[in-house]
């Protein structure tokens, strides 16, 4: 699902929530956290239960070394979620469970270098060109966590969330742009490099979620 479809779906969901009657106890809010910057709508049919939908997006650039290659990296965060939240009576604490439409991706592009050690062989930059890698995840991912909701005069809200997104083992692809890219001997060494890169990002299957949000009663 591409970005425009995701954001369009989120807009429809939030728009529908905004048109509900005030008797439905609708809250709208904004949040920031490890899934990016987001918007959220909450429907509270009772004091101990609410349902939430929202969308997050953010891109984070960095650089570092993976499997012996220096990369420029971009973590592209995109997600739409729906959760159910259960709380004890008269408590700000809640349990949260839900599902996330997950578009998170990790993109890597090798930095300029005169040579690259790929597998067990050294190649020149003229041969390799640029190494480009991409890791993506399951398109649907379960989420579980806890949260705290604080209300002021039933009008303003402050929200904290802590949880885990089970986004599955990352699927990693690695390719070169240079003239040697399709050479069988090079492809054999590239497969070794891909295995090392896969091992380096395997821990991303469990993604920690933490966020702070502000909301208001619509």
Sign of the alpha-carbon torsion through 137, 142, 144, 149: positive
Provide the pLDDT for residue 218.
66
pLDDT of residue 154: 78
Residue 157: pLDDT band with limits 50, 70, 90: very high
Query: What are the tens digits of pLDDT across the range 126-156?
Result: 999 999 999 999 999 999 999 999 988 778 9
Q: Determine the pLDDT at residue 4.
A: 44
Instruction: Give the model's pLDDT for residue 47.
Output: 86
What does the pLDDT look like over 22-72, one tens digit per residue?
A: 445 899 999 999 999 999 999 999 989 999 999 999 999 999 888 889 999
> Residue 122 phi/psi, 5° resolution?
-95, 130
Overall number of domains in the chain: 1
Three-state secondary-structure class, residue 16: helix
* All residues at 6 or more sequence positions from 192 whose CB lies less than 8 Å from its CB, including other chains: 118, 119, 120
> Is the model's pLDDT at 12 over the cut of 90?
no
With CA atoms as reference, report the closest residue to 214 among 3, 5, 28: 28
175-196 per-position pLDDT tens digit: 999 999 999 999 999 999 999 9
pLDDT category at 2 given cuts 50, 70, 90 is low
Residue 188 sits in a domain whose CATH number is: 2.40.160.170
Domain of 111 in residue numbering reads as 3-217
* 148 contact partners, CB below 8 Å, separation of at least 6: 92, 93, 94, 159, 160
Over residues 84-111, the pLDDT tens digits come to 999 998 889 999 999 999 999 999 999 9
Mean pLDDT of 164-169: 94
Question: Do the Cβ atoms of 87 and 94 come closer than 8 Å?
Answer: yes
Which residues, other chains included, contact 99 with Cβ-Cβ below 8 Å and sequence gap of 6+? 81, 82, 83, 140, 141, 142, 143
Length of the chain: 218
Question: Taking a C-beta distance cutoff of 8 angstroms, is the pair 161, 150 a contact?
Answer: no
């Amino acid at each position: 699902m591409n970005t425009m479809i995701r954001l369009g779906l989120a807009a429809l969901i939030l728009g529908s929530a905004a048109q509900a009657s005030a008797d439905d106890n609708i809250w709208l809010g904004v949040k920031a956290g490890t899934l990016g910057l987001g918007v959220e709508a909450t429907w509270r049919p009772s004091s101990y239960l609410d349902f939430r939908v929202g969308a997050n997006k953010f891109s984070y650039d960095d650089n570092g070394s993976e499997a012996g290659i220096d990369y420029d990296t971009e973590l592209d965060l995109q997600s739409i979620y729906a959760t159910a939240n259960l709380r004890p009576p008269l408590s700000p604490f809640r349990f949260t469970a839900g599902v996330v439409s997950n578009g998170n991706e990790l993109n890597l592009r090798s930095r300029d270098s005169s040579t690259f050690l790929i597998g067990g062989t050294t190649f020149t930059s003229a041969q390799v060109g640029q190494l480009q890698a991409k890791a993506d995840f399951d398109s649907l991912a379960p989420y579980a966590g806890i949260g705290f909701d604080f209300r002021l005069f039933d009008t303003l809200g402050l929200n904290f969330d802590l949880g885990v997104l089970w986004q599955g083992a990352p699927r990693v692809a690695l390719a070169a742009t240079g003239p040697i890219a399709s050479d069988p001997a090079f492809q054999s060494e590239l497969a070794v490099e891909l295995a090392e890169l896969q091992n380096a990002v395997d821990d991303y299957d469990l993604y920690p979620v933490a966020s702070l949000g502000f909301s208001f009663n619509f």
